[in-house]
Every structure is written in C-alpha cells, then in structure tokens.
C-alpha cells in the first residue's frame, strides 16, 4: 500500500510572484470604495434607571419573605444600530429580565411591565411601555426572560449623531413599588 503524500500548492513562477501581491491588494481595496455606508453608525448610550431596575411585589401590607409575590431585576440591555437613509438611525433594543416567584404568589403566572425611553439631554423624547407575561414552569421559581425587540427611529444630522441620545430602561412601577425600591436603596 502506498503512503499518502500531502499535496502542496504549486507556487507561481518567480516573475509572476511580484505581480500577484499588488493585484491582491487592489482587489481587497476595491470592496472598500464606499466605506461610509459599510460601517455601523454610532449608537446611543443605554442605561438601566436605578430606581426602576428592580421589581418587588408583596401581598398586602406585609414586607417579609412570606409576603413576597414576585421579585425581578433588569439585567441586560442589548441592541444594534443601522443607518436608514441619511436622516435616521434605527436602533433595536432588547431587555433581559430575571424573575423570582415568591411564596405568596397566587399562581405560576405573573404580569409585569417595563419601559424603554429615548432622551435628548434631560428631555424625554419618547417612552414606550411593554407588557410581559411570565409563566413559571412547575419545577422552577426563577426565570430569565427577554422582551421583544424594540425598534427606535432616531433623527440624525451631520451635527447630531445617534450617540447624542440616551436610552433608559426600567420597570414600570406603581408608586408603592417605587417607594419600596427607594427604601431598599436608601434614597
């Protein structure tokens, strides 16, 4: 039985080797002729609102562990940006949430809401509230969920890029839930 020998690529004759490198470089640069449309645009900064980062719901007026219905935390904000014409950047945002079902939960389902807001400086340009339904499996009291993709259209100009906007995310809390958060954080 003959032994297999690896096949080596054939080398170009010496006079042609010097011509191949410039040709390859030119071919590589030909794809970069219009680079302004090939790079992703700047994205706005994103943050979780500190007072709305957590959700704690109790049954009635009690505040110990046996009264806990649901607790949650916004854990991640993901997203991407793409240019849509010369005057708009489309930003897609995904929100990641962790939930824990408490001992006082009346069922294995929970309803909650979170918001996504766009700010220009301190001014809120847009705020959208999204409802989320959580269903805990029979063998789990913890869940990780992601909200649906949220698409935001941001106006841009040569003197105002999408990075000048800010995106803020948080739970849409009741006044009592907000007060609980502020008491927990000492604010």
| 55-110 pLDDT tens trace | 999 998 888 889 999 999 999 999 999 998 889 999 999 999 999 999 999 999 99
* Higher local confidence (pLDDT), 99 or 4: 99
In the Cβ-directed half-sphere of 41, how many Cα atoms lie within 13 Å?
Answer: 27
Residue ranges of the domains in the chain? 41-185
Beta strands at 54-58 and 109-120: parallel, antiparallel or unpaired: unpaired
How open is the CA angle 139-143-148, to the nearest 5 degrees?
Answer: 135
Average pLDDT over residues 3-12: 35
| Secondary structure class of 50 (helix, strand, coil) | helix
pLDDT band at 181; cut points 50, 70, 90? confident
Residues 6+ apart with CB under 8 A from 8: none
Structure confidence at residue 86 (pLDDT): 83
Beta strands at 165-171 and 45-48: parallel, antiparallel or unpaired: parallel
Structure confidence at residue 19 (pLDDT): 38
Architecture of domain 41-185: Sandwich (2.60)
Query: For the chain, what is the mean pLDDT?
Result: 81
Structure confidence at residue 187 (pLDDT): 65
What's the predicted TM-score (pTM) here? 0.75
Length of the chain: 187
Instruction: Return d(Cα 12, Cα 26) in angstroms, integer.
Output: 19
């Amino acid at each position: 039985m003959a032994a297999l020998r690896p096949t080596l690529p054939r080398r170009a004759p010496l006079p042609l080797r010097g011509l191949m490198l410039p040709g390859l470089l030119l071919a590589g640069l030909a794809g970069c002729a219009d680079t302004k449309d090939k790079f992703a645009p700047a994205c706005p900064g994103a943050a979780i609102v500190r007072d709305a980062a957590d959700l704690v719901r109790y049954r009635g007026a009690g505040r110990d562990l046996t009264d806990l219905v649901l607790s949650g935390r916004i854990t991640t904000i993901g997203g991407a940006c793409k240019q849509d014409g010369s005057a708009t950047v489309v930003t897609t945002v995904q929100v990641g949430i962790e939930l824990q079902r408490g001992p006082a939960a009346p069922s294995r389902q929970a309803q909650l809401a979170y918001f996504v807001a766009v700010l220009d400086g301190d001014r809120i340009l847009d705020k959208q509230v999204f409802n989320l339904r959580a269903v805990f499996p029979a063998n789990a009291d913890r869940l990780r969920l992601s909200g649906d993709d949220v698409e935001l259209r941001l106006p841009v100009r040569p003197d105002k890029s999408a990075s000048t906007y800010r995106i803020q995310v948080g739970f849409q809390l009741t006044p009592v839930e907000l007060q609980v958060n502020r008491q927990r954080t000492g604010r």
